[in-house]
Chain A
Amino acid sequence: MTSIEPGLGRARWRRSWWYHAVLYAQTWRGSVVSSVLFPIFYLASMGIGVGHLVAHHTGLVQGQSYLRYIAPSLLATTTFQLGESESLWPVLGSVKWIRVYHAAAATPLEPRDILYGKLSWVATRSFATGVAYTAIIAAFGAVQSWWGLTLPLIGALITLAFAAPLTAYAARVDSDASFTMIYRFAFVPMFLFSATFYPIAAYPGYLRPVVQLVPLYHGVALVRAAAFGQGSLPAQLAHVAVLGAIALAGVAWGRVTMRRRLAD
C-alpha cells in the first residue's frame, strides 16, 4: 500500500488535502458570513417563531424549550449538507469537466490519495464548522453536557457518511442528470423526515423503523444526545457505528470508482 521510495511514500494524501485547503482559502470569502448568519437566522425563525406555537400547545419538548430542542439538529443538517454539496457536482467537475483530478493523477499521487485528500479536507471543514456551530448552539443554551465537546467530531462523521459514498458515486457517472433527482427524492425528504424538528416519537409506531433506516436520523439523534447529555451510551455507539459503516463503505467504493476513472 505504501511506497518505500524516499519522499514519495510519506502520506501523499496530505498533499491532496493541502491542495483543497489552498483552493478553499482562495475562494471562501462570502461563504463564511452566510455560514455564521444562516444558523442564527434559522434558530431565530424556527426556534422563536415555531417555538412560540409549540410552547402554547405542548409546552416543553423532552424537557427542553423548542428552540433548544432543535438547535443541536442544526449541526447535523448543516454537516449533512456540507457533505453532499462538496461531493456531487464538485467531484464530477474535477473528474470530467475541468479534470483537475486527472492532472493530479499524473503526479506521484495515486487515485486513492486524491480520494483521501478530498474526504479528509471535507471532514476538516466540517469539524471547523462544527466548532463554530457548537459555540452558537451553546449561546442559545442548548449545550448542556460535557459530551457537547464531541459535537464537532460528530459533525465530521456525519459529513463523511454522506461525502464518501456520494464522492464514490460522482466519480463513476458521466453526467449530472441523476444529481437533481437525488436532491429531490433523497436529500430533501431526508432533511424533512429525520426527526429534525421533533422527536421520533412523533411518528406512529410503524413508521419509526423506516425513519431509523435514514442515515441522517442517526446523526440527528447523536447530536441531540451529545448536546443534552441524554440517552444511553450503547445507543449512541450504535448510531456512530451506522454512520461509520456508511462512511467506510463509501471510502471502499470510492477507491474503486476513482481508480477506474483516473487510472484506466
Chain B
Amino acid sequence: MLEARSLVKRFGAFEAVRGVDFEIARGESFGFLGPNGAGKTSTMRMVSAVSQPSAGSLSIFGLDPRAHGPEIRGRIGVVPQDDSLELELSVRLNIEMYGRYFDLPRRVLRERTDELLEFARLSERADSKVDDLSGGMKRRLTIARALVNRPELLILDEPTTGLDPQARHLLWERLYRLKREGVTLIITTHYMDEAEQLCDRLVVMDSGTIVAEGAPRELIGRHSSREVVELRFGTDAPEQMQDVLAPYAERVEVLPDRVLLYVADGDDALRAVHGSGLAPVSTLVRRSSLEDVFLRLTGRTLVD
C-alpha cells in the first residue's frame, strides 16, 4: 500500500533523509527505529502526504502524493509527536471539530465520536477541558482524533514518549486492537522495547539512511548474539577491558558506564569471567534486543 524509492528530503543544504527505500503492505505494522535526528520525523511527514519529497518516488495507496495530497490525507490518520490538541475545548469537541476537516456530516460525527471516546477510554471525560487531562489521556485523545476518518493507515510519531509505564501499556493495548482490526500502522520510536512489541517489521534509521531492515527477532538474529552479559566495573577505565574480555565473547562493546559481552550462553560466559579473577561490581545476563542491533550497526546507543 506504500512504496518509497530513493526518497530524499532536503532543507536548504541539509539533507535530513538521504535516499531511503521501503515498502509497507496492507495490514502490516511497520516501525522506524532510530535516535533523535535520524530522519524519522521527516520521513513520516512525507509518508503522511504533508511534505513533499525533494527527490525520489513515493506512492501511497497507489497514488502520487504530489498530485493527490488531499485525497491521500483523507484516508490517513496522523498522531503527531506533540498532541496539538485544542486545549481550551472539551474532549468531545476536539474530535468533532477535527472530523469536520474530513467533511463528515454532523450526525455521523456524533456517533463516531461516542465510539472513539469509548475506544480511548475517555467517555467519562467527554466534557472535560483538554487542559485538565493527564499526558496519557491526551495521547489517547490524539489517537482517537486521528481515527475520526476511519483511516486505512495510521501514522504514529513517537507515540509513548513521555508517558509512564502504565499509560504506555494501555496505549500499546489499544494499538494491538487497531492492528487486529486490520489498520496498517506506521510507528516511529526510539524505544527498542516498543518496536519489538508493536512492529511486524522495521527499519533502523541513522543519519538519514536505513541501516537495516527486517522483523525484530530476525534483525537480532542477524546482527547480534543470543544473549548479552552486562558488566560494570566501579571506577576503572573500561577501555582496557576490550582486550581483557575479548577471549570470553564473540564481541565486546565498551560503553562509558558498562561493558557488553555478546555471547551464545550468558551464564557460561559470566562464570568464565569470574573464574579469570575479574571482579565486576554488578552483572546482568539478558537476551539481545534491538538496542544491541542498533549499537552494532551505528556504534551508538539509541537513548543518550
A-chain residues with CB within 8 Å of residue B284 when the two chains form the complex: none
Is B86 in contact with A23, judged by CB distance below 8 angstroms? yes
The verdict on A26 contacting chain B, using a C-beta distance below 8 Å, is yes
The verdict on A52 contacting chain B, using a C-beta distance below 8 Å, is no
Is B101 in contact with A15, judged by CB distance below 8 angstroms? yes
Q: A26-B88, A26-B89, A98-B86 are in contact. List 17 more A-B contacts (CB 8 A).
A: A8-B71, A9-B70, A16-B101, A18-B100, A19-B100, A23-B89, A102-B84, A103-B145, A106-B50, A106-B73, A106-B78, A107-B101, A108-B74, A109-B70, A110-B69, A110-B70, A264-B11
Binding site for B on A (CB under 8 A): 3, 5, 7-10, 12, 15-16, 18-19, 22-23, 26-27, 98-100, 102-110, 262-264
Instruction: Evaluate whether A99 and B74 lie within 8 angstroms (CB atoms) in the complex, with A15-B103, A104-B101, A263-B50 already known.
Output: no
Partner of B84, one of A5, A15, A100, A110: A100
The verdict on B255 contacting chain A, using a C-beta distance below 8 Å, is no
B104-158 residues at the A interface, CB under 8 angstroms: 145, 149
The 7 closest A-B pairs by CB, nearest first: A107-B101, A106-B78, A99-B84, A108-B70, A103-B84, A5-B71, A108-B74
Minimum CB–CB distance from B133 to chain A (whole Å) comes to: 14
The verdict on B98 contacting chain A, using a C-beta distance below 8 Å, is yes
Instruction: Evaluate whether A108 and B102 lie within 8 angstroms (CB atoms) in the complex, with A19-B97, A98-B84 already known.
Output: yes
Instruction: Evaluate whether A26 and B102 lie within 8 angstroms (CB atoms) in the complex, with A98-B87, A106-B73 already known.
Output: no
B-chain residues with CB within 8 Å of residue A108 when the two chains form the complex: 70-71, 73-74, 101-103
The verdict on B59 contacting chain A, using a C-beta distance below 8 Å, is no
A103 (CB) vs chain B CBs: closest residue: B84
Is B103 in contact with A7, judged by CB distance below 8 angstroms? yes
B-chain residues with CB within 8 Å of residue A23 when the two chains form the complex: 86, 88-89, 97
B145 (CB) vs chain A CBs: closest residue: A103
Partner of A106, one of B48, B71, B97, B100: B48
CA distance A28 to B127 in the complex (A): 18
A-chain residues with CB within 8 Å of residue B51 when the two chains form the complex: 263-264
The verdict on B36 contacting chain A, using a C-beta distance below 8 Å, is no
Sample (9) of A-B pairs whose CB atoms are under 8 Å apart: A23-B86, A23-B88, A23-B89, A99-B80, A107-B74, A107-B102, A108-B71, A109-B101, A263-B52
Interface string of B46-59 (1 = CB under 8 A from A): 00101110000000
A2 (CB) vs chain B CBs: closest residue: B70
Bin the interface of chain B by size. 20 to 34
CA distance A195 to B69 in the complex (A): 48
A106 (CB) vs chain B CBs: closest residue: B78
Is A107 in contact with B98, judged by CB distance below 8 angstroms? yes
Minimum CB–CB distance from B121 to chain A (whole Å) comes to: 21
Instruction: Evaluate whether A8 and B74 lie within 8 angstroms (CB atoms) in the complex, with A98-B87, A108-B101 already known.
Output: yes
The verdict on B215 contacting chain A, using a C-beta distance below 8 Å, is no
Minimum CB–CB distance from A90 to chain B (whole Å) comes to: 12
CA distance A102 to B45 in the complex (A): 11
Interface string of B228-255 (1 = CB under 8 A from A): 0000000000000000000000000000
Interface string of B67-82 (1 = CB under 8 A from A): 0111101101010101
B-chain residues with CB within 8 Å of residue A8 when the two chains form the complex: 70-71, 74, 103
Instruction: Evaluate whether A22 and B80 lie within 8 angstroms (CB atoms) in the complex, with A8-B71, A108-B73, A108-B103 already known.
Output: no
B-chain residues with CB within 8 Å of residue A16 when the two chains form the complex: 101
Is A262 in contact with B50, judged by CB distance below 8 angstroms? yes
Minimum CB–CB distance from B63 to chain A (whole Å) comes to: 10
Is A106 in contact with B11, judged by CB distance below 8 angstroms? no
Is B80 in contact with A12, judged by CB distance below 8 angstroms? no
Is A22 in contact with B102, judged by CB distance below 8 angstroms? no
Minimum CB–CB distance from B86 to chain A (whole Å) comes to: 6
Interface string of B1-17 (1 = CB under 8 A from A): 00000000001000000
Minimum CB–CB distance from B45 to chain A (whole Å) comes to: 8
A111 (CB) vs chain B CBs: closest residue: B50
A107 (CB) vs chain B CBs: closest residue: B101
Is B88 in contact with A19, judged by CB distance below 8 angstroms? no
CA distance A8 to B87 in the complex (A): 28
CA distance A189 to B74 in the complex (A): 46
The verdict on B93 contacting chain A, using a C-beta distance below 8 Å, is yes
CA distance A263 to B84 in the complex (A): 16
Is B97 in contact with A22, judged by CB distance below 8 angstroms? yes
B-chain residues with CB within 8 Å of residue A22 when the two chains form the complex: 93, 97
A16 (CB) vs chain B CBs: closest residue: B101
A-chain residues with CB within 8 Å of residue B149 when the two chains form the complex: 107
B-chain residues with CB within 8 Å of residue A18 when the two chains form the complex: 100
CA distance A16 to B89 in the complex (A): 16
Minimum CB–CB distance from A208 to chain B (whole Å) comes to: 45
Question: Which of A12, A22, A27, A103 has the most B CB atoms < 10 Å from its CB?
Answer: A103
A-chain residues with CB within 8 Å of residue B88 when the two chains form the complex: 23, 26-27
CA distance A16 to B78 in the complex (A): 18
Minimum CB–CB distance from B149 to chain A (whole Å) comes to: 8
B-chain residues with CB within 8 Å of residue A104 when the two chains form the complex: 101
